[in-house]
Structure 1
Amino acid sequence: MKTTSISHAFGHLSDPRVNRTQRHSLIDILTISICAIICGYENFNDIEEYGKTKEDWFRQFLALPNGIPSHDTFNDVLNRLNPHEFSHAFTAWVKSLANLSEEIIAVDGKRCEARWIKPGVSRLSIW
């Protein structure tokens, strides 16, 4: 199975924002959010802090023309996403990462019930 990038997996999602109010791309917001959540950050303030801490790294593959979005932007955008579209894209992306061969892998699972991830998404940590 071929691994899919975040921008490819989530590029088709409907952007709930009005065009004239978009200072940050949806892919930038989703990429920072997903990375932060995988690293254990749990709220919008934490996601913003994570983004600012890792900004130099994110700039290697994200445009970030207006810097890291604020916690209010993360809150607004993530709460307005279509939960079914997001869940479907997230599940497909995670499945694309599971390219298993003859290796032993440790798996730890968590259920993420954040208000903006309705009806909830399972998070897997794989080593």
Structure 2
Amino acid sequence: MQELLEWMEYIEDSRQQSKVRHTLKDILVIVLFATLANADDWVEMALFAEDYQDYLRKYIELKNGPPSHDTLRRVMGMVSPEILQQLYGKWQERLNRNEGELLKKIICIDGKTMRSNKRNGEKPGHIVSAWSKEDGYCLGQKAVGEKSNEITAIPELLEKIQVKGQIVTIDAMGTQTAIAEKIRNKRADYVLSLKANQGTLYEDVREYFEDPEFQKEIKERGIYKKTQEKAHGQIETRE
């Protein structure tokens, strides 16, 4: 972590230093940690800094206390996207050091729209994230213009993170041959969602699972499970 903190010291701060109350390093660390904690707007990041300021002071000074959400938004708007990519890249490098295949973990890849980040009438940004379910932190992120760009962003994100020996889950948007091949080339397993609009693949899989002999086999082996629950105003059945 010390190496990353030292790297932040060299990032140019374009603000008038006589008016600066919160160092750029402080703000970058807050945004990094808050994002890893799944905060998705400036207000949540400011609340994170307020609630965890004692922990944050292990790494940063916070001379004037935690910054406001307006300060976070304004200062981060001055930081170039390239610097942010380098920051998350260096964090990812730190996580990937000495990683092995000791334990299979579930890595959830999903996209979400960032609230409260619209500028000049533009659409809000969309972020594709890789989340480690067991560890409870974000492994990496990729910014995209809109949800439809997730298909191209997912392989790029997979290239940047360590998934060897893990299980990658993606919703139906990511059920693409190229993405599945990318995961296998990275020596990981995958669980991909299927929808009826995915043509013959959906029908083939449904026919396979509806085969009486197959159902009998998985029930005898104890690997069959069926659940029902009420969600979104309807009964959802999973098996």
Q: How does the TM-score come out when normalised to structure 1? A: 0.79
1:47-99: CA deviations, max 9, x gaps? 11111111121123321110001111101111110111221232132123112
Q: 1:13–1:90: structure 2 CA closer, same or farther, 3 Å change rule?
A: farther
State the alpha-carbon separation in 1 of the partners of residues 22 and 85 from structure 2: 22
Between the aligned residues of both structures, percent identity stands at 20
Q: 1:77–1:68: structure 2 CA closer, same or farther, 3 Å change rule?
A: same
State the alpha-carbon separation in 2 of the partners of residues 69 and 6 from structure 1: 21
> Counterpart of 2:74 in 1: which secondary structure?
helix
- In structure 2, runs of 5+ residues without a counterpart are 119-124, 136-239
Largest Rg, 1 or 2: 2
- Partner in structure 2 of residue 101 of structure 1: 100
- In structure 1, runs of 5+ residues without a counterpart are none
Structure with the largest fraction of strand: 2
Match of 1:123 among 112, 129, 133: 129
Shift of 1:112: 6.6
- Partner in structure 1 of residue 36 of structure 2: 38
Question: For 1:18-37, what aligned pairs fall within 5 Å after superposition?
Answer: 18-37=16-35
State the alpha-carbon separation in 2 of the partners of residues 87 and 122 from structure 1: 13
Give the length in aligned residue pairs: 123
> Counterpart of 1:123 in 2: which secondary structure?
strand
Which structure has more relative contact order (CA 8 Å, sep 6+)? It is 1
Aligned amino acid, residue 102 of structure 1? E
The root-mean-square deviation of aligned C-alpha atoms, in Å, is 2.5
